[in-house]
Structure 1
Amino acid sequence: MRRVESSVTQAWATRLVAATQRVLNQQDGPTVLVGHSYAGTVVSEAGVDPKVSSLVYGAARAPDAGEDFVALSAKYPTMPVRAGTEEHDGYVTLKQDAFLKYFAGDVPRDKAMTLFAVQQPIAKTRFGERTTAAAWHSKPSWYAVSSLDQTINPDLERFLAKRMGATTIELPSSHLSLVSHSKGITDLILEACGRQP
């Protein structure tokens, strides 16, 4: 059973990176890849493409090549959002209370309710996958730490940012900094593009 889960997980990661690669193939110049949360895994893998000029991570995973990110995360206290997950048929979602309080804690309630309503289930196996590359070793990187994050431990985010040597900012934000602190995230992306915010 473990071998099947591993191949399914790897197939999922491969599809996400392949989708990113298709978009990169359509670009005709330097491209900045931006990843929030789990998408940091995709950015780390797909970012080795020669068209990618820099990487931006927002409250994101940033695994090293072959790293067991679940084991790395376990070195930090479990965040409250974990208690609000529910699993059905191998897929995980967040209960409404956990989504509003811990995932989107500083997002206006109406907006947070909309985001909760369109939440998509995530394959449980997806979180255990490993990348084969870590583009942040060779590409300039930026990282936005969400200092009030209740989903990914902010100290883990700080560790990841420091390890990659990223230009780092901290936002007093929940996990959804791209929604609640969109200007700070936009300015960070512009900086990664070489433009003044």
Structure 2
Amino acid sequence: MNSQDDLRQRHPINRRAFVSMVAAGAASTLIQGTAAAAQPAPKARNVVLVHGLFADGSSWSEVIARLQAAGLNATAVQNPLTTLPDAVASAERVLARQDGPTVLVGHSFSGMIVTEAGQHPNVSALVYVAARAPDAGEDYAALAKRFPTPPASAGIVFDGDEGRLSEAAFLRDFAGDLPEAKAKVLYAVQEPFHKALLTGKTTHAAWRSKPSFYAVSTEDRTINPDLERFMAKRMGAKTIEVKASHLSLISQPDEITQLILEAAGGHPA
């Protein structure tokens, strides 16, 4: 008798027990895998908000107050409006300070920044508020020309390399659904942008890999609403339509806040 026969005699294998053991192990692994897959994604408790042209970080004040009341940590980036790389870097510095999953939100031009900086590992979802949403390397100006030119474009005035909206265009075409007194305060704090900012192109399109949400402003006179709808549909974004001017974040802050809360995964526990 060889050593293997001797081993089988001393430790006989019960084939049925062996098969049952293997099946049980496989089932256990499957159950564990299914349970892991069923775990909900962590809720984002951080929101980083980026402003666009003709504005500064204070344009998010109405939304920030509501996010804070909901228990979220909100930070507004002071976008330098100089060049796209400078603007992206300013957003990335703020994103790097966040302590976990973060919703990155952009209004107007800053959709360019969200599209690029949204690649940051802290970013869990993207929210576009009447915002540009280019593809990687896309010429946004060429894309915009496929739609009727919005009225606000005619109101941009330049002082050398710096551009801004005239007061008439700001009140009528940028903040048209706000009380005039409030719109004039916003006009007074608008930050001029540099011409070089408009020449930048994104190198990444974060919306291709991150959950995306879009708020279309149906009364927008700064970005054509149909262009907004086109970009939102192309992204496959969860989309809402808000009856508002370009400044829906100020005139309709409840709706914009609710969209951000949805992107964050609901109201935090």
Same fold at TM > 0.5 = yes
| Residue of structure 2 aligned with 1:123, choices 168, 184, 194 | 194
Aligned to 2:174: 103
Which is higher, the Rg of structure 1 or of structure 2? 2
Aligned equivalents of 1:139 and 1:151: distance in 2?
A: 26
Distance in 1, matches of 2:158 and 2:147, equals: 23
Q: Equivalents in 2 of 1:16, 1:115: separation in Å? A: 21
The 3-state SS of whatever aligns with 1:92 is strand
Whether 1:159 aligns to 2:195 is: no
Deviation at 1:196, TM superposition (A): 4.6
What is the rounded CA distance, in whole Å, between the counterparts of 1:51 and 1:26 in structure 2? 9
Give the structure 2 partner of residue 49 of structure 1. Answer: 120
Q: Paired residues, what number?
A: 187
What SS is found at the alignment partner of 1:99?
helix
Amino acid corresponding to residue 26 of structure 1 in structure 2? R
What's 1:14 paired with? 85
Any idea what SS the aligned residue of 1:38 has?
helix
Equivalent pair of 2:83/2:196 in contact (CA under 8 Å): no
Contact kept in structure 2, 1:148 and 1:173, CA below 8 Å: yes
2:107 to 11, 31, 36: 36
Q: Does 1:176 align with 2:247?
A: yes
Instruction: Tell me, yes or no, if the aligned pair for 1:70 and 1:128 is still in contact at 8 Å.
Output: no
Q: Select between 174-183 and 78-87 the one with higher mean Cα deviation.
A: 78-87
Q: Does 1:147 align with 2:207?
A: no
Aligned mates of 1:25, 1:119 — CA distance in 2: 27
Partner Cα distance (2:176, 2:126) in 1: 26
Identical aligned residues as a percent: 58
For 2:203 and 2:216, the matched residues in 1 are separated by 24
In the superposition, the TM-score normalised over structure 1's length comes to 0.92
Per-residue CA deviation, residues 1-56 of structure 1 (Å, 9 max, x unaligned), is xxxxxxxxxx8211111111111111121000000001111000000111110000
The answer on 1:88 being equivalent to 2:156 is no
Q: Does the aligned pair in 1 maintain the 2:88–2:113 contact within 8 Å?
A: yes
Structure 2 counterpart of 1:135, from 178, 192, 206: 206
In structure 2, C-alpha distance between the alignment counterparts of 1:93 and 1:163, rounded to whole Å = 30
Structure 1 range deviating more: 24-33 or 161-170: 24-33
Cα distance in 1 for residues equivalent to 2:210 and 2:94: 19
Which secondary structure state, in structure 2, belongs to the residue aligned with residue 87 of structure 1? strand
Consecutive unaligned residues of structure 2, counting only runs of 5 or more, are 1-81
Confirm or deny: 8 A CA contact 1:34 1:55 kept in the other structure: yes
Question: 1:7 matched to which residue of 2?
Answer: none
Q: How far apart, in 1, do the equivalents of 2:113 and 2:155 lie?
A: 25
Aligned to 1:186: 257
Greater shift, 19-28 or 166-175, is seen at 19-28
Q: How far did 1:128 drift? A: 2.6
If asked which structure has higher relative contact order (CA below 8 Å, sep 6+), I would say 1
CA deviation vs aligned residue, 1:114-151 (integer Å, no higher than 9, x gap): 00011111112322310100100000000000000000
RMSD: 1.3
